[in-house]
């Protein structure tokens, strides 16, 4: 899905998709907000640690991972 499509999904739909994760409802909210923010930026994902950490739900461990991992 594109970021625009993800941002348009209901949080309940995303929560169902990540139901095995801890706190799926809050993860769904974060995924939706993150998708909307990236969609608003023209689909460009930040490429700096600071830019990634500014996204809701992205902590230091996720921000430090190489792309595609």
Q: Which of 12, 57, 50, 49 shows the shortest CA–CA distance to 33? A: 57
Over 90: is that where the pLDDT of 4 sits? yes
Give one DSSP letter per residue of the chain, joined into a string. --HHHHHHS-HHHHHHHTTTSSSHHHHHHHHHHHHHHHHHTTTPPP-SHHHHHTSTT--HHHHHSPTT-
* pLDDT of amino acid 5: 95
pLDDT score, position 47: 87
Tell me how many degrees the CA angle 15-53-44 measures, rounded to the nearest 5: 80
| Single pTM value for the model | 0.80
Query: Which pLDDT tens digit goes with each residue over 14-67?
Result: 999 999 999 999 999 999 999 999 999 999 999 888 998 988 888 888 888 877
């Amino acid at each position: 899905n594109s970021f625009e499509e993800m941002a348009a999904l209901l949080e309940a739909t995303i929560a169902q998709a990540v139901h095995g994760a801890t706190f799926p409802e809050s993860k769904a909210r974060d995924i939706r907000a993150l998708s909307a923010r990236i969609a608003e930026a023209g689909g460009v994902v930040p490429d700096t640690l600071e830019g990634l950490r500014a996204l809701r739900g992205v902590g230091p461990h996720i921000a430090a991972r190489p792309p595609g991992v």
